[in-house]
């Protein structure tokens, strides 16, 4: 149900046969990256449905590489001490060696590579591991890890493609030109982290680089399929070859497999799909332009829809400033939300005495947390959500579009 200024969402038990009211429950206390508020056990079906460790464990190196860089960054801004940074770095390097040597042991609670590495880090170094996640969401890790992994994969892919082109040059010249274009396009997929992203929300949700890579792979597959088909043609009777089943032909299994694998990549690409995509996107864009150009913003309704629950992360940051590791602070903040729900009151209506039942570090200065404007404006880094940062982003976009 959607109403003016608010969105109401009702979760039902019938979705995919899974108890959706339990999708985000806490499971083993303190082990989930998103735990703290929730109690009970995650539905086993959802646990398996949500897990990605079976395939994303191949990003272990990228995940550790990103964390090694991140701990240096949070040390610079005073969120970890030099000793803690050294502890975390040593632990991450130990985990890296375990992965390299095939000694890393996955456990049932390891739903993805980020959870697995963080769990192991805590086993190795204790509470200091909880500080590694300060200021970084799992979406940050996913986006960064995929870029790091794909960057290395592209380097390897370029090596193979360059070698193939060299073979073609030595044997013939015709196919080398289309593969040259493929190599140039692959080089253009720049994942060198050469600059700061312009918007923090876009940075963690962007998957354009994957789409571009898949398109590149589809085009390369077309070229390789064409190459394989030509060689298959050259293996037919007309070119004086034979086959174990059909005397008139002799097709190399390798070439037929290349064509089959290529079909797996580019699927059902054809003119009809091209026209359909064009028509659909043209309609979507025209409607979107109309919607956005006539949209009216009701600021008062938006403010009235605000709830102090939205400041739960700010409450966690309050605890971080008191010296509590972020992972622990995150869980304590979730318990405060649960306490407010139990008492049937807003999070901001909990007394200091109420909050002290969750953690003794809460004090009267916690009242400063309940300010929505300050909550938004504290993220004043480049690409952040503070008004000053947003205005800079708007100016940058205007400057860019004026050059087109």
Q: Which residues are catalytic?
A: 174, 243, 249, 256
396 and 195 Cβ atoms separated by less than 8 Å: no
84 and 133 Cβ atoms separated by less than 8 Å: no
Separation of alpha carbons 359 and 104, rounded Å: 35
| CA contacts within 13 A on the Cβ side of 191 | 24
Separation of alpha carbons 118 and 126, rounded Å: 11
CB neighbour burial string for 260-292, b if at least 16 within 10 angstroms, e if fewer: eebeebbeeeeeeeeeeeeeeeeeeeeeeeeee
Angle, in degrees to the nearest 10, between helices 60-76 and 113-125:
60
379 and 389 Cβ atoms separated by less than 8 Å: yes
Separation of alpha carbons 226 and 121, rounded Å: 49
**Pure H helices in 198-252:** 200-205, 208-234
Separation of alpha carbons 332 and 317, rounded Å: 11
What the block records as the tokens of 244 is: 């174990």
Number of C-beta neighbours around residue 66 at 10 A: 21
Q: What is the DSSP string of 64-110?
A: HHHHHHHHHHHHHTTSS-HHHHHHHHHHHHHHHHHHHTT-----TT-
Residue of 397, 382, 307 whose CA lies nearest to 347: 307
336 and 342 Cβ atoms separated by less than 8 Å: no
């Amino acid at each position: 149900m959607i109403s003016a200024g608010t969105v109401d969402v009702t979760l039902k038990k019938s979705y995919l046969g899974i108890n959706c009211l339990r999708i985000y429950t806490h499971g083993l206390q303190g082990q989930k990256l998103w735990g703290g508020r929730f109690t009970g056990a995650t539905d086993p079906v959802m646990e398996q449905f949500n897990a990605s460790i079976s395939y994303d464990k191949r990003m272990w190196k990228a995940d550790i590489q990103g964390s090694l860089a991140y701990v240096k960054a949070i040390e610079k801004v005073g969120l970890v001490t030099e000793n803690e940074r050294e502890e975390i770095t040593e632990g991450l390097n130990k985990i890296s060696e375990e992965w390299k040597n095939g000694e890393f042991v996955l456990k049932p609670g390891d739903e993805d590579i980020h959870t697995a590495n963080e769990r192991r880090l805590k086993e190795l170094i204790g509470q200091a591991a909880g500080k590694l996640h300060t200021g970084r969401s799992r979406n940050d890790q996913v986006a960064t890890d995929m870029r790091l992994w794909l960057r290395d994969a592209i380097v390897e892919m370029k090596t193979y493609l360059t070698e193939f082109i060299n073979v073609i040059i030595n044997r013939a010249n015709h196919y080398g030109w289309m593969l040259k274009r493929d190599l140039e396009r692959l080089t253009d997929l720049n994942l060198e982290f050469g600059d700061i992203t312009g918007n923090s929300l876009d940075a963690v949700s962007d998957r354009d680089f994957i789409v571009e890579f898949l398109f590149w792979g589809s085009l390369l597959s077309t070229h390789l399929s064409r190459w394989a088909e030509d060689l298959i043609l050259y293996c037919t009777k007309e070119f004086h070859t034979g086959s174990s089943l059909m005397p008139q032909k002799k097709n190399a299994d390798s070439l037929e497999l290349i064509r089959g694998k290529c079909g797996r990549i580019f699927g059902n690409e054809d003119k009809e799909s091209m026209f359909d995509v064009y028509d659909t996107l043209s309609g979507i864009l025209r409607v979107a332009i109309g919607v956005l150009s006539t949209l009216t913003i009701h600021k008062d309704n938006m403010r009235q829809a605000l709830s102090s629950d939205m400041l739960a992360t700010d409450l966690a940051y309050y605890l971080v400033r008191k010296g509590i590791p972020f992972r622990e602070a995150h869980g304590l903040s979730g318990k405060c939300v649960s306490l407010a729900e139990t008492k049937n009151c807003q999070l901001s209506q909990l007394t200091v005495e109420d909050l002290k039942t969750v953690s003794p570090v809460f004090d009267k200065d916690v009242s400063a947390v309940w300010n929505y404007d300050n909550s938004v404006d504290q993220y004043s880094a480049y690409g952040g959500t503070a008004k000053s940062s947003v205005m800079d982003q708007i100016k940058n976009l205007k400057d860019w579009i004026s050059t087109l």
